[in-house]
Structure 1
């Protein structure tokens, strides 16, 4: 059986957002993407943080060309739809943003998220009108390329130290009006916050991030009306946590206890065979 085409993956991805709730895990390289596909997940999302750490860089420090090359690799690595963590769009001007979004669509991604953060700790969020205009430009760039890539609008309030739920909701509503297909406020955690965002954006689908030990499971989030759940850099952090713990025990204690319970080479070879 031939693998699904890019158009088929994009159609599948859009359909996932129509009803129910699905988990969209975030691999950081080809191996983690293949492993997640083998576990039966229906779609995957990139992690800018996970990818940056794999390149010995901090999140947000990779250039556009690095991000685009990573997206192409991830699209080619599996037969699943891929949602791109495209940070703030890799464009200071609207023209640069439109060009970058067009390049991202050309990689074959099924979805693409745009953040409203600035990277400036003194003014961490773009003005709402400016951020909404950037969302309109991203929407137009996607439409010019065929219009079948899902656009995700992100309000970064809770990630950049401005935990104002009312402002985050107003931003998401503005992004929805500007053409975003799915809305996302990473960092909201409580039932009340999540329910408020879902209600304010209905009938648009909402993504919720769970990158920590949470009392809310998939069934709980589905009951709240969440359409999709992502984990951001949490899987990459879990992998790094295991690696760092094992290496520190060797370095500091001269012991190899942390290797207990790890998969064997035979198991991993079988997974990637």
Structure 2
């Protein structure tokens, strides 16, 4: 637990100061590539891990297989690891925390989509779950880093475009108050919107490159953390496809 505590505190500290850039990985080999490139932490991408395992994204893979893959990543690198744990796989808070820590990871993404319906869960309900996970981590003795993903900007979640920013801010505040360390409004591609989120939430915000946003723009508006999801996994497959097409 001592090492896990040190990793958890190191990962949390990386959300302050210089922007934390996380090129998401999907297995031990890709994690080693990121570590060798000098990045200070490792993050998995659920879409890439589930695809690698042969399952669809959105909790289509058994949680046991997803966590087993995360464990192989954590064992491969001497760095803090944070796991894209989707919506938490329906695990009770203490079981979720225990299973996460068993992998050797010290952080997680938790999203507010119900994958059974494809809709956003009630924000208060999700905030309560985050609070219970935070409490369970305290009981377990490791202050895991919780990155609360807000899915309001995803077009298939039923939030009209003019309302997405306000809804993301509302949800982000609730999740932060519940104990989340970072808020992740996935799908934001406009500089003004991510700047508003950074200002209104007044906490570490996770952004993505895309649309009007590159790393320089995200850094300028004060984003604390940047992740890429399955982008590099897909690029690796495309490189493989191109290479074998020349045989």
Global fold match (TM > 0.5): yes
Per the TM alignment, residue 179 of structure 1 is displaced from its structure 2 partner at its CA by: 0.7
Partner deviation per Cα, 1:145-189 (whole Å, 9 max, x = no partner): 114211111111223433512111111110001110111011011
Q: 1:133 pairs with 125, 128, 135, which one? A: 128
Distance 2:25 2:242 in 1: 21
Task: Report the secondary structure of 1:84's partner residue.
Answer: strand
Deviation at 1:73, TM superposition (A): 1.1
Name the CA distance, whole Å, in 2 between partners of 1:215 and 1:170.
23
The aligned residue for residue 139 of structure 2 is: 144
SS at 1:109 equivalent: coil
Report if the CA contact (8 A) 1:87-1:114 is conserved. Answer: yes
Structure 2 unaligned runs (5+)? Answer: none
Aligned partner of residue 62 in structure 1, secondary structure: coil
Whole-angstrom CA distance in 2 between matches of 1:216 and 1:130: 32
- How far apart are the structure 1 equivalents of 2:186 and 2:213? 15
2:141 partner SS? coil
Match of 1:26 among 24, 27, 34: 24
1:98 to 2:97 alignment: no
2:196 matched to which residue of 1?
196
Q: Which residue pairs with 2:174 in the alignment?
A: 174
TM-score by length of 1: 0.82
Q: 1:6 to 1:147 in 2, by over 3 A?
A: closer
Mind listing any 5+ residue stretches in structure 1 that lack a counterpart? Answer: 257-273
Matched residue, 1:240: 237
Counterpart-to-counterpart distance in 1, 2:120 and 2:214:
30
CA distance in 1, matches of 2:183, 2:52: 28
Structure 1 contact 26–45 (Cα < 8 Å) conserved? yes
Matching residue of 2:186: 186
Which one of the candidate residues 215, 219, 232 is aligned to 2:216? 219
Report the Cα offset of residue 246 of structure 1: 4.1
Offset at 1:223? 1.0
Aligned residues between the structures: 240
Q: Trace 1:85-124 onto structure 2 (pairs within 5 A).
A: 85-91=84-90, 96-121=92-117, 124=119
Instruction: Output the CA distance in 2 between the equivalents of 1:23 and 1:89.
Output: 23
